[in-house]
Amino acid sequence: MAAASASAAFLLLPVSPPAGPIHPRLLPSSPCRSRPRCHVRLAASRSEGDATGDGGVVGVGGGGVFLSPRALSQREELAAFRYAHTFPHGRLTVRALTPPGADDAEAEADALVRLLASSFAENVRWAPAQRYEQLLAFVIRRYLYERRGLAPHAAVLVGYYRPSTAATGDGEEEVGEGEEEEDDDGEMACTAEVSLDAMGAPGAPPTPTPPLEFPYICNMTVKTSLRRRGIGKQLLKACEDLITKMDAKRRIYLHCRIIDQVPFNMYRKAGYNIVQTDSILVWLSLQKRKHLMSKELLQTSGSSKNYLKGKKAFKTADGQAW
């Protein structure tokens, strides 16, 4: 299925919001910097790796976020998540963004920032593309710093594409622990963000506003040179697979701009239905009108064949978009 540059609503939220929107699809994360919207319990006096009885504390932005035993287990599941699909033209592997402190974490974050910035900047007509992309990169980097600290309540997924040297036949491929080829995943091809519950929900989601307690998919993009190869469709499946594996609620929400017909058709074929559509008055805020779409995932037993829970959670990365 063809991928598109603006499939789900883009929610890159700067830490310190500007006086007005930097970009039609960039919204401030909270109305006031001094009182940011935050759903986590801080434990500033504790360092990363400390434990309090049955939980743990993970350092985020100078403080600490208390995690229950279940949340700690979910972080491990998120780190081990893998989704793989083999096309006739190559192979796509989707996993969670490498956490800070791990090998190649900064290099992967840099690649992701470049991917998102180039994707968001390509529709801009009123500013020099290169300078605007640099501004976006700064905003996106700070946004990713915030979002990575919300695991396991939210996850940033990255997909790597490796072209095949010969036709292998289309179909989904199960990955075993001994079959991991993390050193040769290819280039970063796509990314998406998944909020799994209210604690991981965006601070200022676009209208129509989705219920915060349900999973929400946003910031989906595929690298320009790799679009229209079915990567976007598989990235969407990877998001749904993660939601299932993390035992989140089964009703998923996402946004799609009315003008983006290609991703809209993809969502409809994937089972998403329109819940609500923006009023025409949204143009007054320089935003494009959007559909809020939703899908109910089927209850499944057992693990998906595209899911890998390997011993090595993370290693290397390169970069790409939808």
Q: Which of 222, 226, 283 is nearest to 258 (CA)?
A: 283
3-state secondary structure of 67: strand
- H/E element, 131: helix 129-148
Task: Say how far apart CA 175 and CA 93 lie, in whole Å.
Answer: 10
Q: Which of 25, 2, 190 is nearest to 121 (CA)?
A: 25
- H/E element, 92: strand 90-96
* Residue 267 designated active-site: yes
Tell me if 98 sits within 8 A of 105, measured CB to CB. yes
Beta partners for residue 194, in sequence order: 155, 217
- What token pair was written down for 63? 């403080």
Task: Say how far apart CA 253 and CA 137 lie, in whole Å.
Answer: 26
Catalytically annotated residue among 253, 267, 272, 307: 267
Residues of 128-143 as b/e, b for ≥16 C-beta within 10 angstroms?
eeeebbeebbebbbbb
Query: CB atoms < 10 A from the CB of 75, how many?
Result: 20
Q: Where are the beta strands (DSSP E) in 151-288?
A: 154-163, 171-172, 187-195, 216-222, 251-257, 273-277
Provide the annotated active-site residues.
267
